[in-house]
């Protein structure tokens, strides 16, 4: 998180049991409200793999009690989607129920689970076929500069009047920290870039952080061609392939065209939830175990 530490006041917490680290909460603070770190797509409390129900309950209660003692009233929690976890672990959903936490937002993630099989729709197959006929070439490259400056930034400005969450310098810095986990794939026609995707790779899966093509994407089939390759060849040994969300307006709306495109590769909808917890209710957790 250091690459954007100037944007956030860090308030990350580490929880120990008998001097052994058992959990951590990446977090920041803003106007006395504690947030599951706003600079991360996924946050929440992260546990060591051997933590069981009672331990996780004690961790949750300890964090909330600490926040209450420190004068904070709200905790905005952004849990990690279950399919990212290395082990089944959804105790926090039960704790949120006991705490009467408020669900403040729900996004729709489009995810392929490889064990379900990968099947492309007719329209996606046609796009792949167009890419083949156009003699498109896919290259994994070390630099993000070509994609950022020629494709991604111009597209985001023209379509949404916005910029990438990561500047070129920031994504380059992140790549230097995690050279094996942040990967850039570009598509070329006659040695000219026409599309690309930035992929964040984890142990269990791959997540497309940025996807963009030039104005000829539909006629070239460049993004269909690229993602069929990523899904079926590059990351086919993973548990899942995560396209990310297709939401607008804080989860209230769905970009259906984008969602439909993702579903064409076999992706299906998984929810990502965002909660706000009244810290003062932490004592409710003490009523669970009988």
**CATH, domain range 119-235:** 3.40.630.30
Express each pLDDT in 162-203 by its tens digit. Answer: 899 899 999 999 999 999 999 999 999 999 999 999 999 999
Do the domains 2-107+273-287 and 119-235 sit in the same CATH topology, yes or no? yes
- Quick one: average pLDDT of 218-236? 97
CA angle 94, 97, 103 (to 5 degrees): 115
Compute how many other C-beta atoms are within 10 angstroms of the C-beta atom of residue 46: 15
Domain residue spans in the chain? Answer: 2-107+273-287, 119-235
Asked if the model's pLDDT at residue 209 lies above 80, the reply is yes
Q: What is the pLDDT of residues 79-135, one digit of tens each?
A: 888 898 888 888 989 999 999 999 999 999 999 999 999 999 999 999 999 999 999
Domain 2-107+273-287: give its CATH code. Answer: 3.40.630.30
At residue 5, the pLDDT reads 80
Predicted confidence at residue 155, as pLDDT, reads: 93
Q: What is the pLDDT of residue 90?
A: 86
Q: What is the pLDDT of residue 192?
A: 97
At residue 4, the 3 state secondary structure works out as helix
CA distances from 277 to 31, 75, 78, 102, 274 (A): 16, 5, 11, 7, 10
**What is residue 19's DSSP assignment?**
T
Closest CA to 64 of 285, 275, 274, 273: 285
Q: How far apart are CA 268 and CA 144, in angstroms?
A: 29
The fraction of the chain above a pLDDT of 70, given in percent, is: 100
Query: Distance between CA atoms of 266 and 123, rounded to whole angstroms?
Result: 12
* Tokens 């310098």, located at residue: 169
pLDDT at 50: 86
What tens digit of pLDDT does each residue of 2-60 get?
777 888 999 999 999 999 999 999 999 998 899 999 988 888 899 998 889 999 999 99
pLDDT-derived band at 161 (thresholds 50, 70, 90) equals confident
């Amino acid at each position: 998180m250091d690459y954007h530490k100037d944007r956030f006041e860090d308030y990350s917490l580490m929880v120990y049991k008998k001097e052994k680290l058992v959990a951590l909460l990446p977090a920041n603070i803003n106007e006395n409200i504690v947030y599951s770190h706003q600079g991360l797509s996924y946050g929440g409390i992260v546990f060591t793999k051997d933590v069981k129900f009672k331990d996780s309950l004690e961790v949750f209660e300890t964090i909330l009690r600490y926040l209450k003692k420190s004068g904070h009233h709200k905790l905005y929690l952004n849990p990690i989607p279950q399919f990212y976890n290395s082990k089944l672990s959804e105790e926090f959903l039960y704790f949120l129920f006991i705490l009467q936490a408020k669900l403040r937002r729900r996004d729709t993630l489009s995810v392929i689970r490889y064990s379900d099989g990968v099947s492309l729709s007719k329209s996606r197959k046609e796009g792949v076929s167009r890419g083949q006929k156009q003699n498109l070439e896919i290259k994994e490259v070390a630099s993000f500069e070509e994609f950022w400056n020629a494709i991604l930034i111009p597209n985001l400005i023209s379509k949404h009047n916005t910029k990438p969450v990561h500047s070129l310098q920031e994504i380059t810095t992140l790549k230097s920290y995690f050279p094996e986990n942040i990967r850039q794939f570009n598509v070329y026609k006659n040695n000219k870039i026409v599309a690309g995707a930035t992929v964040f790779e984890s142990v269990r899966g791959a997540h497309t952080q940025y996807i963009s093509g030039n104005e000829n994407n539909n006629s070239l089939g460049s993004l269909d061609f690229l993602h069929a390759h990523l899904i079926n060849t590059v990351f086919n040994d993973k548990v899942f392939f995560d396209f990310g969300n297709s939401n607008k307006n804080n989860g209230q709306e769905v970009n259906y065209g984008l969602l439909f495109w993702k579903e064409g590769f076999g992706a299906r909808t998984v929810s990502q939830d965002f909660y706000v917890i009244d810290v003062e209710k932490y004592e409710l957790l003490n009523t669970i175990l009988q």
